[in-house]
Structure 1
């Protein structure tokens, strides 16, 4: 199996402000696992509060590169189990690898990840969104909330 790491600095549409600080871009690491010409992807975002940066995740994953690339790909949970003792201090890195392994497994074996987990792709709710700190009018305007949801922010 081949491991490739992709670093991204994703600009946010709006500055995100919470009590611990603010960001205008989100550093992210995408893990790519390739096996027999098939590729699976997993992502983890940096989070300074938890002391996980793109550098620290890349370094942690790099320390396991040989173990990852020599893994005889089977079930995703086997890869997680083999890496967990080595990445216990960097759960963000382990999560990105786990996501990539599940994506790859679904691509190779037919059912997609959500199907493997017994889910269906119907009646999917809108994704959640964390609303940053600001004055209510700006929070409503910049987050595109509908009139009915605006009262929850005031």
Structure 2
């Protein structure tokens, strides 16, 4: 089976509610979805949401990178030769991790279909289901309380609260939500780089003194501030997770060597795809550091790929793979399914995806 063509398209999917963080607000998912087509006619699906404030990748840059630089290098390659294909993707150009991830995912989908194996089994097969949390956008405390109670009523047992816009207000937000949902629900906080190191330590210690029982706090300081992240990690009791700082394999290696964080958040769009995500998981496992599998605002194509990694590896103990649930509609046929807070990974070959409705070809 050889790669014969690559088609680039997009889907536009409205969100149920605006997605708000310390970095951005999004009202609809404008995802690039590609089709890598084999000479047998089989199709591998890949996904890349433009997230310029985190990855630096826009919709136009993703399209151009796939169409003009990376994609042409893959035409004619044998799908069985994953090592050569992944090397070509990685070395074709610097950065552009979202474009690389889309191609990586589609090629792995083809590989799974070629050999009749679902990706979660290919990568390790540790389990075929996993719990995900649900993200609560940063808003006024009363609105976040309402959204949190709705999530708990829907069966979610872990909430990821977006904070980082105002430390004093963040304390009020978290206190109000904890009082509303009780202590049987896990609360995770994501500051999206919103605090300074000393501010983060003061705020987190306040959470601790108030007995708010925060499971973890994600990326409290700027992504480039590894020393600041370590300062926070060393001066609070709550587990600190690196997200934007843990961009790719090299950054994760540095963080682990510095002991700058307690946990790593792996995302395919940062890592450049599944093959680098596996490397990161193995780095972390070697150092005894647990991982979360996270996401941007991927369609169910990207979420299925991420869930396949999350389910396959024992060291990935948490999942923040709720993006498809946040969308008002699901155009993807097949792939991961949801049962309340559970992700169910399909046993169909590859990603188990057969079509994407409403897909609009660009080139």
Aligned to 2:15: 12
Aligned to 1:53: 58
- Local SS of the residue matching 2:131: coil
Q: CA deviation at 1:135?
A: 2.4
Q: CA deviation at 1:109?
A: 0.7
Rg comparison, structure with higher value = 2
**C-alpha distance in 1 between matches for 2:26 and 2:94:** 27
- List alignment gaps of at least 5 residues for structure 1: none
Aligned to 1:39: 43
For the Cα contact (< 8 Å) 1:14–1:142, is it kept in 2? no
**C-alpha distance in 2 between matches for 1:52 and 1:129:** 25
Range moving further from structure 2, 101-110 or 136-145: 136-145
TM-score, with structure 1 as normaliser: 0.86
Distance 1:75 1:136, change over 3 A: farther
Q: CA deviation at 1:48?
A: 1.8
For the Cα contact (< 8 Å) 1:75–1:105, is it kept in 2? no
Q: 2:100 matched to 1:94?
A: yes
Superposed CA offset, 1:91-127 (max 9, x none): 11101111111111001111111111012553x2233
- Local SS of the residue matching 1:134: coil
Superposed CA offset, 1:7-27 (max 9, x none): 122211110111122110122
Superposed CA offset, 1:19-51 (max 9, x none): 122110122111211111111111111102032
**C-alpha distance in 2 between matches for 1:107 and 1:140:** 44
Q: 1:81-120 maps to which residues of 2 (within 5 A)?
A: 81-120=87-126
Distance 1:4 1:135, change over 3 A: same
For the Cα contact (< 8 Å) 1:106–1:112, is it kept in 2? yes
For the Cα contact (< 8 Å) 1:80–1:94, is it kept in 2? no
Q: 1:16-31 maps to which residues of 2 (within 5 A)?
A: 16-31=19-34
Q: 2:138 matched to 1:133?
A: yes
- Aligned length in residues: 153
Q: CA deviation at 1:130?
A: 3.0
Q: CA deviation at 1:72?
A: 2.4
- The equivalent position to 1:79 in structure 2, one of 73, 77, 85, is 85
Range moving further from structure 2, 60-69 or 10-19: 60-69
Distance 1:139 1:77, change over 3 A: farther
Q: What is the Cα-based RMSD across aligned positions, in Å?
A: 2.2
